[in-house]
Amino acid sequence: MTQIDLEGRAALVTGASRGIGRSIALGIAQAGGAVAVHYQSKEEAAARVVAEIEAAGGDAFSHAANVQISSEVKGLVDACVTRWGGLDIIICNAGIWKGSMVEEMTENQWDEMIDVNLKGMYLVTHYAVPHLKSSTAGTIVNIASTAGQRGEAGHAHYAASKGGMLAWTKSLAPELAPFGVRVNCVAPGWVHTDMAAAVLKADGKTINAGIPLGRAGKPEEIAAVACFMASDLASYMTGEIVNVNGGSVLCG
């Protein structure tokens, strides 16, 4: 069995300035892949990820786009194709997590959640798929959440967006399989990133008690599975949702 090898592959990782996306971008680069480090507003953070990859001899560039806006996402995919002549891997990771009880949830809050987490994934995929079909190793990895599997009280719009990612993954896998494009999904539980930092700090003990492995995950523990899914080691795997949550969906 070989190690994960992404030499010669061009990858776009959305939301790669921080957290899970950053770890995935670094993981792809360590495996030899070229990486587009996408971000929305944290330009310096994205530049640091690019610098880290380049310092290790890798190929990366950063590009800003609001994933809610079609023209910006098209520009992002075009930038990858201009640089590399094609695209082999997309990792749909950019996302937001905000709380709201259903009676207080405004239409704007609902629209923002669905637009960033679900429409953003659709737009990236929509523009990238023609290039993935032209690749001999086209593959998509979506980053969902345990919330999409078992729901999340007080975050129903987030859970709905993530549940949508699971159904999207299961739908696109057979649709794109005839073109050799694999589509898989990672469903993380709690992970130590900016997104979860305040809650993990305030309620860490209670949260850890509900996780069979007794702790929240590290971004690199999600990245390891995403990089595996993007590689030829997962060449017979498509339409799968892999839980990386310390056992919490099945047991917690």
Enumerate the active-site residues. Answer: 158
Closest CA to 60 of 92, 21, 93: 21
Least Cβ distance, residue 51 to ligand NAP (angstroms): 16
The only residue of 194, 202, 212, 247 in contact with ligand NAP, by rule CB under 6 A: 194
Give the C-alpha separation, 167 to 174, whole Å. 12
Q: Mention every residue, 6+ apart, whose C-beta is less than 8 A from residue 202.
A: none
Strand 60-64 and strand 241-244: pairing? unpaired
Residue 148 binds ligand NAP, judged by CB under 6 A: no
Angle at 57 between CA 223 and CA 222, to 5 degrees: 5
Residue 94 binds ligand NAP, judged by CB under 6 A: yes
Least Cβ distance, residue 29 to ligand NAP (angstroms): 16
Residue 248 binds ligand NAP, judged by CB under 6 A: no
Q: How many CA atoms lie within 13 A of 27 on its CB side?
A: 24
The only residue of 33, 58, 95, 164 in contact with ligand NAP, by rule CB under 6 A: 95
Residue 18 binds ligand NAP, judged by CB under 6 A: yes
Residue 182 binds ligand NAP, judged by CB under 6 A: no
Closest CA to 11 of 190, 168, 138: 138
Residue 27 binds ligand NAP, judged by CB under 6 A: no
The only residue of 30, 32, 42, 110 in contact with ligand NAP, by rule CB under 6 A: 42
With beta carbons less than 8 A apart as the criterion, state whether 38 and 15 touch. yes
Least Cβ distance, residue 194 to ligand NAP (angstroms): 4
Q: How many CA atoms lie within 13 A of 28 on its CB side?
A: 31
Q: Mention every residue, 6+ apart, whose C-beta is less than 8 A from residue 153.
A: none
Q: Specify the stretch interacting with ligand NAP by CB under 6 A; choose among 87-95, 100-108, 170-178, 205-213.
A: 87-95
Residue 61 binds ligand NAP, judged by CB under 6 A: no
Residue 19 binds ligand NAP, judged by CB under 6 A: yes
Residues that bind ligand NAP (CB under 6 A): 15, 17-21, 39-42, 45, 66-68, 93-97, 116, 143, 145, 188, 190-191, 193-196
